[in-house]
Amino acid sequence: MGRGNITIEDVAREAGVSRQTVSRVINRSPNVSGSARSRVEQVIETLGYVPNAAARRMGGARSYLLLAAIEGGTAGELAGRLPLDRMLLEGLAACSGQGYHLMFKQISQERDLASALTSLTPDGIVLLPPLDERAEFHHMLERRGLAAACLAERHEHGRVLPGLDEAGFGEAATAKLIEHGHRQVGFIAGDGDIVRSRRRIEGYRRALAEAGSRAHRHFVSEEPRDLAGAIDLARGWLAPTIRPTAIIAGTEAVALGVLQVAHELGLAVPRDLSLLALEDTSGLARSHPPISTLHQPLGALFAGACMRLIEAGEGGGAIRPQGTLTPAIASAAHVFMPRATIARAPRAV
């Protein structure tokens, strides 16, 4: 027994069957008689047997390991890019529910990916943004026949591409306000991923242009704003007579800042000003009034990606290449949290 752990051998002996039968039971092979199966399951329970993951992999089968690839950079640099804490917890829940393990790894170059793959031989890999846009990575994975997944897919030029649809996200947020009669909609980017902010603004512009508004020429702040920056900007926008009737805030800090300025200026929210935040935090749920959000549920999207990878693996023993992955149906790309900061636009501006 080597290090004293209970092995498949122990279970086999105790149950009076061969190792192979035990193996079939733990791998849910159909070719096991009911009696043998129940006996083995009984012994497994009694002995508290747990298969050794490394040995399992060595047998040449699945590794029951999923890899989540994070972009390179220090903790400080990556701060706020992705809600890694939620993704970790929700991904863990999805994986361990299926008997899978989950491991995160920072990947900068192709060789990092190659090392991780040969060293760990995962059954699948989730390319977290912005790695999901690196064609080289997809190629390498395809070459190795490894299942890959992204948080979501976007539709562009009639094609389906990997990556979050940030433009669509910005568009949807804007549409939500337009629905309520707003035309003078402002957009303030928060600090975080600048690239993603830009894309959201594209969508915002598109939606406003289609609605015949020109607000996107005056009321956009592309540069990242923190609380103080948002406050400064909001004062400039909201004090004049001609002002936005609704503002989209990229982050919690921006939303709180705008809300504060509205208070200062005596603007009632949402009567005089509607407010929509693009991330969902506890602070927003508890402000006065609580702030409505349209956000990407990245934790759920990540868990969904893990599930798809697992299903792809379970499918036929062999792991299907990335192309055959089922679409991200598990969770919506964005979720609206109606709270108390969206109302119909006032008649005149």
Amino acid at 79: A
For position 306 contacting a copy of itself by CB under 8 A, the verdict is no
For position 120 contacting a copy of itself by CB under 8 A, the verdict is yes
* Main-chain dihedrals φ then ψ at residue 161, nearest 5 degrees: -120, 155
Determine the Cα–Cα distance for residues 243 and 184; give it in Å rounded to an integer: 7
- Which segment (29-37, 50-58, 160-168, 328-336) binds a copy of itself by CB under 8 A? 50-58
Determine the Cα–Cα distance for residues 171 and 200; give it in Å rounded to an integer: 7
The 3-state DSSP class for residue 179 equals helix
* Main-chain dihedrals φ then ψ at residue 317, nearest 5 degrees: 75, -60
Report the residue number, 36 or 120, with the smaller CB distance to a copy of itself: 120
- Shortest distance, position 31 Cβ to DNA, whole Å: 4
Contact yes or no for 122/65 (Cβ under 8 A): yes
Contact residues: DNA, CB under 7 A: 1-3, 5, 7-9, 16-24, 26-27, 30-33, 35-37, 49, 51-52, 55-56, 58-62, 317
Determine the Cα–Cα distance for residues 244 and 230; give it in Å rounded to an integer: 14
Binding site partner of 8, from a copy of itself, DNA, none, Cβ cut-off 5-8 A by kind: DNA
What's the chain's length in residues? 349
Binding site partner of 30, from DNA, a copy of itself, none, Cβ cut-off 5-8 A by kind: DNA
Cβ neighbours around 316 below 10 Å, total: 8
Report the residue number, 29 or 109, with the smaller CB distance to DNA: 29
Binding site partner of 83, from a copy of itself, DNA, none, Cβ cut-off 5-8 A by kind: a copy of itself
Q: Which of 28, 157, 159, 288 is in the footprint of a copy of itself by CB under 8 A?
A: 288
Determine the Cα–Cα distance for residues 307 and 305; give it in Å rounded to an integer: 5
| Sites for a copy of itself among residues 215-274 (CB under 8 A) | 226-229, 253, 256, 260
- Which segment (37-45, 82-90, 148-156, 335-343) binds a copy of itself by CB under 8 A? 82-90
Contact yes or no for 4/18 (Cβ under 8 A): no
For position 85 contacting a copy of itself by CB under 8 A, the verdict is yes
How far the first Cα of the chain sits from its last, in Å, is 79
Helix-strand-coil split of the chain, %, nearest 5: 45, 15, 35
Binding site partner of 114, from a copy of itself, DNA, none, Cβ cut-off 5-8 A by kind: a copy of itself
List of residues contacting a copy of itself (CB under 8 A): 2-6, 48, 50-55, 57-58, 60, 63, 70, 74-75, 78-80, 82-86, 88-90, 92-93, 96, 101-106, 111, 114-115, 118-121, 144, 191, 226-229, 253, 256, 260, 282-283, 286-288, 299
